[in-house]
Amino acid sequence: MRHSSSPPDRNRPASLVLGGIAAFSAYFAMYAFRKPFAAATFADHAGWPFAIDYKSALLIAQVLGYALSKLIGVRVIAEFGRQGRARTIAGLIAFSWAALIGFALIPAPWNIACLFLNGLPLGMIWGLVFSYVEGRRASEALGALLCASFIVSSGVVKSVAVLVMDQGVGEYWMPAVTGALFFPLLFVSLWLLERLPPPDARDEAERVARVPMLRDDRAAFLASHGVALALLVAGYVLLTAIRDFRDNFAAELWTAMGYGGVASVFSASELPVALITLVALGALMMVRDNLRALLAMHVIIFIGAAMLGLATLAFQAHLLSPLAYMILTGAGLYFAYTPFNAMLFDRMIAAIGHAGNAGFLIYIADSSGYAGSVALLLYRSLGAGRIAWLPFYMHAAYATAIAVAVLTILSGLYFHYKLGTHGRTARA
């Protein structure tokens, strides 16, 4: 039975707010199983006899699992319905936690494989959680709240991880212990998400019905709009690589800037970033025209790329403190990176008018993006190992800022031409 024929739900606004908080909390909890180990330096392996340092090997293993999960998700998330999402999320995260226990029990270097198994199920979580909030008039606000979770959570869980180690928990058990602390939040969040009402008739009228996309549907979409998607994904690959580098080696970057071992800096640098990004992207909910909103997101991505490059320039000129630099480059990165994870593809589906789901496009971008993350880690370990962490990050920031700005302009021009006044005239 279609929900569009049912009477209006007076409690719907409150349900949406609660659902947005639940989506935020569910993905926040997932990060407690993915990111805590990055707070450790694993310095006892500084002299191990391999070209890639031990921590980089751990990161590469986890990202390879995560990237493979995203690649699998291109099909799985595109075809996943509304049934069984909460059970699937809980099962995937439980598997990842079991891998963290294996990481603590199995001696190095064999425990590197456990990080691959830890990342393998977690790549599915975003698409499953986002499916609860996409295709709604309030999707920008809900999506911005959801995206804020991965901005805030990475810093917070690393702060918790440092505090766990301060209580005497070793570096190898710390990831499993930190994850276990977040199981109650995960289960409550999933229980609330299952009570979020589905999109109503007005949502479907404005944002297009969200349905599974089978093989032929996916092929038809790519044949029509593959050029724009390639431009966007190319920029996203660069953004994912440097965002992951900044996130995974935050401890090393802070140490290089004189803040080594200070747990609070991980959260202090990310909370302002989350607030700025949440307000900017959530405000796009007020733009009802889907093409205008899509182009506005291109502007936000361009501004983010510019902030990344200009903040690095200002830091090199000694005009910014280390904390201000990390806040501004974080804001620039997440301004540019966040739209890809929710609003950009949600509005693209709506502007094109093609029934489907944004999860398919998100997972094409993500599977490519994490391949870029692995490539950057390998380049840093094998090709640029003599460059210190901070200079390497700054060089990558400049390259990413320039390339993403150019690619975003080209993508924006494509959509303006294809879907704008000229495109409507050509199709008439």
Q: What does the pLDDT average to over 370-392?
A: 80
User: Which of 390-413 are b and which e, b meaning 16 or more Cβ less than 10 Å from the residue's Cβ?
Assistant: bebbbebbeebbebbbebbeebbe
**With contact defined as beta carbons under 8 Å apart, do 109 and 121 qualify?**
no
Sequence spans of domains, the chain: 14-41+51-427
> What whole-number distance in Å separates Cα of residue 99 and Cα of residue 179?
11
Question: Between helices 343-352 and 215-248, what is the axis angle to 10°?
Answer: 160
The pLDDT of residue 53 is above 90: no
Q: How many CB atoms lie within 10 A of CB 423?
A: 15
pLDDT digits (tens, 9 = 90+) for 79-135: 777 788 999 999 999 999 999 999 999 988 899 999 999 999 998 998 899 888 877
CATH placement of domain 14-41+51-427:
1.20.1250.20
pLDDT value of position 299: 93
Candidate ranges 4-18, 69-83, 171-185, 288-302; pick with highest mean pLDDT: 171-185
Task: Tell me the pLDDT of the chain averaged across its residues.
Answer: 82
Residue 210 pairs in a beta bridge with: 356
Query: Quick one: tokens of 259?
Result: 């803040």
The pLDDT of residue 379 is above 60: yes
> What whole-number distance in Å separates Cα of residue 140 and Cα of residue 58?
35
The pLDDT of residue 428 is above 50: no
Q: What does the pLDDT average to over 377-385?
A: 74
pLDDT value of position 167: 93
Of the CA atoms within 13 Å of residue 421, those in its CB half-sphere come to 0
Residues sharing a CB contact under 8 Å with residue 279, sequence separation 6 or more, in sequence order: none
Q: pLDDT category, 373, cuts 50, 70, 90?
A: confident
pLDDT value of position 354: 65
Place of tokens 């990831």: 175
The pLDDT of residue 235 is above 90: yes
Q: pLDDT category, 340, cuts 50, 70, 90?
A: confident
pLDDT value of position 12: 63
The pLDDT of residue 7 is above 70: no
> What whole-number distance in Å separates Cα of residue 152 and Cα of residue 277?
11
User: Which of 208-242 are b and which e, b meaning 16 or more Cβ less than 10 Å from the residue's Cβ?
Assistant: bebeebeeebbeebeeebeebbebbbbbbbbbbbb
Q: What is the sign, positive or negative, of the torsion defined by CA atoms of 357, 358, 361, 367?
A: negative
The pLDDT of residue 352 is above 70: yes
> What whole-number distance in Å separates Cα of residue 192 and Cα of residue 174?
29
The pLDDT of residue 48 is above 60: no
The pLDDT of residue 11 is above 60: no
pLDDT digits (tens, 9 = 90+) for 255-281: 888 776 666 666 666 667 667 777 777
pLDDT value of position 5: 42
pLDDT value of position 102: 97
pLDDT value of position 59: 85
pLDDT value of position 318: 92
pLDDT value of position 319: 94
Gyration radius (Cα) of the chain, Å: 21
Place of tokens 């901005």: 151
Candidate ranges 12-21, 163-172, 319-328, 401-410; pick with highest mean pLDDT: 401-410
pLDDT value of position 3: 41
**With contact defined as beta carbons under 8 Å apart, do 122 and 33 qualify?**
yes
**With contact defined as beta carbons under 8 Å apart, do 273 and 330 qualify?**
yes
Q: What does the pLDDT average to over 139-149?
A: 75
Place of tokens 């936690």: 97
pLDDT digits (tens, 9 = 90+) for 168-227: 999 999 999 999 999 999 999 999 998 888 777 776 676 666 666 777 877 888 888 888
* Residues of the chain above pLDDT 90, percent: 33
Record the pTM. 0.71
Q: How far is CA 365 from the centre of its chain?
A: 11
* Distances from the Cα of 192 to the Cα of 1, 85, 133, 167, 379, angstroms: 23, 12, 13, 33, 43
pLDDT value of position 427: 42
Lowest mean pLDDT among 50-59, 180-189, 207-216, 366-375: 207-216
pLDDT value of position 174: 95
> What whole-number distance in Å separates Cα of residue 159 and Cα of residue 109?
26
Residue 356 pairs in a beta bridge with: 210
Peptide bond into 107 cis (omega under 30): no
